[in-house]
Amino acid sequence: MDIWLSALQTVFSPTTLFFIAFGVLLGTILGAIPGLNSTMGTALLIPFTFAMEPANGLAMLAAVYCGGTFGGSISAILFNVPGAPEAAATGFDGYPMAQKGQAGEALGYAIMSSVLGGLFSVLVLNLVAPQLAEVGLTFSQPEYFALAVAALTLIASLGGAGMAKAFIAGLIGLLLATVGIDELTADPRFTFGTKALMGGINFIPAIIGAFAVGEILAKAEEGSGLSGEHLTMKVSTKLPRLKELLRLKWTMLRSAVIGTAIGILPGVGATTAAFIGYSEAVRWSKHPEKFGTGVPEGICGPETANNAATGGAMVPLLTLGIPGSATTAVMIGGFLVHGLQPGPMLFMNQPKLMYSIFIAMYVANIFMLFAGLGVAKVFANFRKVRYSILGPVIFIFAAIGSFGIRNDMTDLWIMFVCGIVGYFFKKFKYPIAPMIIGLVLGPLTEVSLRKGMFMTDYELYPFLMRPISGTILVIAVGSVLWNLYTVFIKKKKASLEEIE
């Protein structure tokens, strides 16, 4: 108890509060700008933390991480350009909602879900971090494969009546993920002898291209109406009311649990958490056909999950010294500059510091509410700009966002080609979201399947016999069959009505 009080005293000192607020604001801004992210911000701030008290420095880094994970959703909702990869799924429903003139509401849902998701995961981190870290380490290839399959089954729900087209789009995404050097055998695949494709197709330029560039090309063709009515409307962020939040409680709770659990798994991260959060929101919804048209559940699902993953990713970092994401890997540097080694010994040797980080993360998530409102307000003003001006600006940010990942021109061309694909998908009614889901989850699905099969001596039944993977796979397959059944029933009803 004394340690808690002492940690509270440290965090609630004006200096620490200032650094947390600064970290959240900086993280949110970096997250909202395509091409910049919280990992970059954390790396740049590490040298500055050297001169600070360890608690202040580490609290600031944790705050940048929390803010950065949320920030990406601002540009995803307003301009269909996810500022960070973990915000890509938020744009599936966030942008359509903004197009309907409800950008303020969409931003409000994103902010609130992020705050609640983040707080939930810190609470979990606080209570059962060591136990969860051990459970996380028992996850093996079959469990990873089951998780990936469960998220991919979302494609069946996204297709609606055009399920075949949704599956084709998803398969194209999975195929794009195979381009480059095979992770297991180091064989080049679909590189056609070029070095440029050896590194594979990064999903960030593909997402930016398919959504943002595809939209710009479509608008260029439309020509007239480039300053549509909704673009000239004032956008003010509206936080959801308690009644609306209560309506979404199960979506948020489910995503918070998913996000925290996935965050704990090393190497999976907030992006996968967001996609699985979205997929589960669709699976359990009474109206899965409405997803993709701008529904609050489509924002709360991924946004709660991706911020919950931030707390989750801190679990293996603080308890075992294993980073759960790219940013937490960089944060190890923050510990090392102060001569600290994250891991179990840190809890014994520096309990006050550990509890200070926990409390700082609570505070950071609450500050995120205000930082989110402020940054969203600034970015929302850009929506008032005519599309004939905004379109080229979005293209430039999309291009720099793609180039910034690896400083490679290939990523720019990938963005552009995916933009053309996105344009034709839209034109011929192929949903884009399944392609992105396939591209994001492709490597995890393939590698976990092949490694898992190798582990089980090329037998598939051990995947079903293991309790966690078996349960997830049964639920996933069951939900696809249920979807097929409902589509079949709907078609039958429609044809009967036609005859009558």
Partner 1 sequence: MLKGELIFSLLIFVGSLLLYWVTGSFATASVLQGGQMGPAFWPRFILGSIILLSGIVSVGMIHKIVKEKAWGESLLTMDRGKVRFFAAIGLCVAYLALLPVLGFIAVTPLFMIAFMLLLGEKSKGWIIGVSIAMTGIIVVLFTKAMYVPLPRGVWLFREFSLLFY
Give the footprint of partner 1 on this chain (CB under 8 A): 30, 33, 35-36, 40, 44, 164-165, 167-168, 171-172, 174-175, 178, 182, 184-190, 213, 216-217, 219-224, 226, 386-389, 391-393, 395-397, 399-400, 403-404, 407, 409, 412-413, 416, 419-420, 424, 427-429, 446, 449-450, 453-454, 458
- Torsion angle of the four alpha carbons 24, 314, 331, 442, in this order, in degrees rounded to the nearest 10: -100
Which lies closer to partner 1 via its Cβ, residue 252 or residue 399?
Answer: 399
φ/ψ region of 225 (left if φ > 0, alpha if ψ in -120 to 50, else beta) reads left
Minimum CB distance to partner 1, residue 392 (Å): 4
How many of the other CB atoms lie within 10 Å of CB of 334? 24
Minimum CB distance to partner 1, residue 192 (Å): 8
Which lies closer to partner 1 via its Cβ, residue 230 or residue 426?
Answer: 426
Which lies closer to partner 1 via its Cβ, residue 294 or residue 419?
Answer: 419
**Amino acid at residue number 424:** F
Which lies closer to partner 1 via its Cβ, residue 190 or residue 482?
Answer: 190
Minimum CB distance to partner 1, residue 43 (Å): 10
Rg (CA), the chain: 22
Minimum CB distance to partner 1, residue 93 (Å): 25
Contact 317, 266 (CB under 8 A): no
Minimum CB distance to partner 1, residue 441 (Å): 13
CA neighbours within 13 Å on the CB side: how many for 255? Answer: 44
Which lies closer to partner 1 via its Cβ, residue 182 or residue 244?
Answer: 182
Which lies closer to partner 1 via its Cβ, residue 123 or residue 163?
Answer: 163
Scan for tokens 């701030």, then name that residue.
Answer: 45
Bridge partners of 376? Answer: none
d(CA 73, CA 263): 18
Q: Which residues contact 239 (CB under 8 A, 6 or more apart)?
A: 108, 111, 112, 373
The three-class DSSP label of residue 265 is coil
Residue 341 in tokens: 């080694």
Minimum CB distance to partner 1, residue 174 (Å): 5
Which lies closer to partner 1 via its Cβ, residue 1 or residue 186?
Answer: 186
The DSSP secondary-structure symbol of 160 reads T
Minimum CB distance to partner 1, residue 226 (Å): 6
